Amino acid sequence: MYDLCIIGAGMIGSSAARHATLFSNNKVCLIGPSEPKERSKGNNRDIYGAYYDEARITRSCSSDVIWAKLAQKSIRRYKDIENKSGIKFYNEVGNIMAGAGSNSSFLKSVRSAAIQSNVETESFDAEMFRKTFPYLKVPDNVQAELETTNAGFINPRKLVEAEQTLASQQGCTLIDDVVHKVERIVCSDGTYAMKVVTDSGICINARKVLLATGAFTSFRQLVPYLKFDFQIIPTLVVLAEVDFSTDAMKQLRSMPCFIYEGPPHKDWKIMDYDKGRQETSLFMMPPVKYPDDKYYIKAGILDPFPVKLISKEEVKQWYDEGNKVMGEHLMEAVQSMFNGIQFKSWRFDTCCIMQTPTGHPYIDKVQDQLGIAIGGNGRAAKSCDEIARIAVSMMLYGWTSDLPQQAFTMRTIHMSKL
């Protein structure tokens, strides 16, 4: 009998396993599938992770105070996790948040959150921005805030590996499988327990279960009597190959992470479905080495795609194939945002975001023995360790965060209304 079974071995679930093993005398297991060697529509895999990547932006500053504080608490632990696991995943290269003009609502919220969260930033006007980052084509009235410390990018694959390594060393049982069903049972002594059954037929019992299953929460019989209120949003990023042998490319070595929200530059080739919008949101990352030994700038549009995914078949198809037309349009859009830079090659990658109506993750109890830590909203990678810590503490002892519990309360859709 395990004290806590964590289902979902991605960034939040793996972090939860580490935190759970820090509490003394708890028997813990983590169940989730490892990353597939390849994605194709010909295989039977229909459960994926959001961590199949080499780089995600991490920053202490955010336009949302809740997310800012979740990130700060997680970032403080990065170095300790790296040192104890021997696995490096954090690159403190800085991050710049930019908008158009001093009246930018985005920058106002960023600056306000920075003040409330005690985050130090350096302000850039248009002249300073163009001088410092001449390779980026931005509106003439651009304004920005730069974080040089506690900001940059993490390698989500390495983060998961580090969290799982420490969890295993501290006694956690790791099970590489997909959970098919979770149900409450009555034990021989009259007490209740949670029964967990995997696709391969493994059956375990636990006193409590924590779901960290992200966008795939509804695709198995995990909580069949509830429908959580969230949407599955497909996302697409492009990877632009950098050739450092050219003089123009060499300047990209010192590039920080970059997030922009506001009116686009007149030369930007914004995605087709965005042409009616007055503003756009985008991100870029500095050159990162990928498993093929090539360096890529990863970039994407933060504006929501005009489609939602509902079934597991739709999600599988998106992970396996994406959308070639959208990918090509995004490549054109990203290329148009650079001055004097021509990339060697292009490719695109896919993922899915679990978007909640609150904009915050759900960290809550379905019932006393079953909890959830889901709903990353495309922001959870940098904050996963603190989300996990809050969730584990909630399940084992109670709410211990200084953040308001109501900010993370789950929302459900009544089955009768479906």
Within this chain, domains 2-52+156-229+357-417 and 95-148+231-355 share the same CATH topology: no
DSSP string, 177-206: S-EEEEEEEE-TTS-EEEEEEETT--EEEE
Q: What is the pLDDT of residue 256?
A: 95
Cα–Cα distance between 111 and 123 in angstroms, integer?
A: 10
45 neighbors 316 (Cβ within 8 angstroms): yes
390 neighbors 335 (Cβ within 8 angstroms): no
Cα–Cα distance between 354 and 216 in angstroms, integer?
A: 9
Q: What is the pLDDT of residue 64?
A: 86
241 neighbors 343 (Cβ within 8 angstroms): yes
337 neighbors 252 (Cβ within 8 angstroms): no
Spans of all domains in the chain: 2-52+156-229+357-417, 95-148+231-355
The CATH superfamily of 95-148+231-355 is D-Amino Acid Oxidase, subunit A, domain 2 (3.30.9.10)
Q: What is the pLDDT of residue 326?
A: 86
Tens-digit pLDDT profile for residues 91-132: 999 999 999 987 888 899 888 888 887 888 999 999 999 999
Q: What is the pLDDT of residue 362?
A: 98
Four-residue CA torsion sign, 326, 332, 337, 341: positive
Q: What is the pLDDT of residue 304?
A: 66
Number of Cβ within 10 Å of residue 199's Cβ equals: 14
CATH class held by domain 2-52+156-229+357-417: alpha beta
232 neighbors 291 (Cβ within 8 angstroms): no
Cα–Cα distance between 225 and 20 in angstroms, integer?
A: 27
DSSP secondary structure letter of residue 100 = E
Query: What size, in residues, is the chain?
Result: 418
Cα–Cα distance between 10 and 220 in angstroms, integer?
A: 17
Q: What is the pLDDT of residue 258?
A: 95
300 neighbors 285 (Cβ within 8 angstroms): no
CA R_g for the chain: 22
Number of Cβ within 10 Å of residue 228's Cβ equals: 20
Q: What is the pLDDT of residue 42?
A: 63
- Tell me the whole-structure pTM to 2 decimals: 0.94
Virtual torsion, Cα 115, 119, 125, 126, nearest 10 deg: -120
Cα–Cα distance between 285 and 240 in angstroms, integer?
A: 10
Enumerate residue ranges in the chain where pLDDT < 70.
40-42, 271-277, 304, 414-418
Tens-digit pLDDT profile for residues 220-257: 999 988 899 999 999 989 999 998 887 778 888 889 99
Number of Cβ within 10 Å of residue 378's Cβ equals: 17
Residues 6+ apart with CB under 8 A from 88: 82, 155, 158
Residue 281 bridge partners (DSSP): 261
Number of Cβ within 10 Å of residue 160's Cβ equals: 26
**Three-state secondary structure call for residue 161:** helix
Cα–Cα distance between 189 and 169 in angstroms, integer?
A: 32
Four-residue CA torsion sign, 237, 125, 90, 407: negative
**Three-state secondary structure call for residue 165:** helix
CA distances from 322 to 112, 182, 189, 303 (A): 37, 31, 51, 17
Q: What percent of the chain has pLDDT over 70?
A: 96
Residue 67 bridge partners (DSSP): none
Token representation of residue 36: 């597939």
